[in-house]
């Protein structure tokens, strides 16, 4: 128990250090690497005194080191500042957009892995066959195809030609919703979700499929697989009960990274389908030099990745007894 506790403490400290470094880099990148963010707020004809008053309202008249320490102190309190573009708290904007992104990305990723993992294991069993070749080709095709191209084809076929599915937005306008859950727990939302979620799922399908297939082929040569065959166990049981469990480790790692990056959304999909998610918001914030919103969005993405990597390290010990807390 003590080794597990010390391991968790070390991993949490490493994660916090990583987030501190990322937060520092984001601060100086957006402060020093971008043009004056208040330029979009300052119209022609304003006097220098009025310009300075606008900068002072956002705290940009203070020394850079003072802005930095104030930035870190506010982050610890969950305060990401005030958006230049929306004139609203950044935290409120991010949580709303993040919720919109996750209700799109999570079902799509889970669908991709729910299909890709068992399909990859089955293809490894049929290695060298025409079925195996076809499965690899399909996985690589959707992974290699530009997502905007897949999205546009899906819109043309299912949205315009057949008219089965809506092509943009989360709900049919106009609509009334008093909260986030009122907005998503409707048939209209599910109707809008199908097409973008399917495009995202097809894009991610190739990763679990190919990783699982290739890892399974390596596991087949292990001694415990030969021992299971010597015991007379059915091939299907050896495939899923013995080989698949040991082949899941790289898949779990890839899943954690994918879900972590999904917090930032898929910018292309959100733009093509006019989905009001965090990915599209990041693009808009960089375009408008709204660095409080942009740097907070990137920091949230980093926090997702760091947290999920910690969970994966813990899950490793459950999937593979050879892995220990050290």
The domain that holds 213 is classified in CATH as 1.10.3720.10
Tell which residue, 85, 93, 71, 65, has the closest CA to residue 20. Answer: 71
Residue 293 included in any domain: yes
Average pLDDT, the chain: 80
119 and 145 housed in the same domain: yes
Q: How confident is the model at residue 325 (pLDDT cuts 50, 70, 90)?
A: low
198 and 289 housed in the same domain: yes
Residue 143 included in any domain: yes
Domain boundary among 76, 110, 127: 76
Residue 11 included in any domain: yes
Distance, in Å, from the CA atom of 151 to the CA atom of 176, rounded to the nearest integer, reads 28
58 and 97 housed in the same domain: no
Distance, in Å, from the CA atom of 203 to the CA atom of 88, rounded to the nearest integer, reads 35
30 and 134 housed in the same domain: no
Distance, in Å, from the CA atom of 266 to the CA atom of 200, rounded to the nearest integer, reads 8
Peptide linkage before 174 cis (omega within 30 of 0): yes
Tell which residue, 99, 22, 132, 31, has the closest CA to residue 275. Answer: 99
Q: Tell which phi-psi region holds residue 198, choosing left (phi > 0), alpha (psi between -120 and 50) or beta.
A: alpha
Residue 225 included in any domain: yes
Distance, in Å, from the CA atom of 226 to the CA atom of 217, rounded to the nearest integer, reads 13
Residue 86 included in any domain: no
pLDDT digits (tens, 9 = 90+) for 161-207: 888 888 887 777 776 766 666 677 788 888 888 999 999 999 888 88
Residue 28 included in any domain: yes
Task: State the Rg of the chain over Cα.
Answer: 24
* pTM of the entire predicted model: 0.77
61 and 196 housed in the same domain: no
pLDDT digits (tens, 9 = 90+) for 254-278: 887 787 767 665 788 888 888 888 8
20 and 124 housed in the same domain: no
User: CB count, 10 Å around CB of 130?
Assistant: 8
Residue 155 included in any domain: yes
In the chain, the number of structural domains is: 2
Q: How confident is the model at residue 323 (pLDDT cuts 50, 70, 90)?
A: low
Q: Return the pLDDT at 276.
A: 86
151 and 34 housed in the same domain: no
CB environment 283-304: b (16+ within 10 A), e (fewer): bebbebbbbbbbbbbbbbbbbb
175 and 303 housed in the same domain: yes
Cβ pair 166, 172 in contact under 8 A: yes
Residue 303 belongs to domain spanning: 91-319
Domain boundary among 41, 76, 111: 76
107 and 19 housed in the same domain: no
Domain boundary among 52, 76, 100: 76
Task: Indicate whether 97 pLDDT > 80.
Answer: yes
Task: Count Cα neighbours of 230 within 13 Å in the Cβ-side half-sphere.
Answer: 6
Q: Which residue has the tokens 């059915």?
A: 234
138 and 272 housed in the same domain: yes
Residue 290 included in any domain: yes
172 and 253 housed in the same domain: yes
159 and 38 housed in the same domain: no
């Amino acid at each position: 128990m003590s080794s597990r506790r010390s391991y968790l403490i070390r991993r949490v400290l490493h994660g916090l250090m990583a987030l501190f470094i990322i937060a520092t880099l984001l601060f100086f990148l957006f402060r020093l690497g971008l043009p004056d963010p208040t330029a979009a707020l300052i119209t022609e004809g304003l006097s220098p005194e009025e310009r300075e008053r606008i900068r002072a309202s956002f705290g940009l008249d203070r020394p850079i080191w003072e802005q930095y320490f104030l930035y870190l102190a506010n982050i610890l309190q969950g305060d990401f500042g005030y958006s230049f573009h929306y004139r609203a708290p950044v935290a409120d904007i991010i949580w709303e957009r993040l919720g919109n992104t996750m209700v799109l990305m999570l079902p799509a990723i889970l669908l991709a892995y729910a299909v890709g993992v068992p399909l990859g294991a089955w293809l490894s069993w049929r290695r060298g066959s025409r079925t195996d070749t076809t499965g690899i080709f399909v996985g690589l095709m959707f992974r290699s195809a530009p997502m905007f191209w897949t999205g546009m084809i899906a819109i043309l076929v299912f949205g315009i030609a057949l008219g089965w599915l809506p092509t943009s937005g989360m709900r049919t306008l106009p609509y009334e919703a008093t909260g986030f859950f009122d907005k998503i727990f409707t048939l209209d939302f599910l109707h809008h979700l199908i097409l973008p979620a399917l495009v995202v799922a097809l894009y991610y399908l190739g990763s679990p499929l190919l990783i699982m297939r290739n890892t399974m082929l390596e596991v087949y040569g292990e001694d415990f697989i030969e021992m299971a065959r010597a015991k007379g166990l059915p091939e299907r049981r050896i495939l899923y009960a013995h080989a698949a469990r040991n082949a899941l480790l790289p898949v779990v790692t890839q899943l954690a990274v994918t879900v972590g990056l999904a917090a930032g959304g898929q910018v292309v999909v959100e733009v093509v389908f006019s989905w009001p998610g965090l990915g599209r918001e990041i693009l808009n914030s960089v375009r408008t030099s709204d660095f409080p919103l942009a740097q907070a969005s990137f920091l949230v993405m980093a926090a997702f990745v760091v947290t999920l990597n910690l969970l994966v390290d813990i899950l490793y010990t459950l999937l593979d007894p050879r892995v220990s807390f050290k």
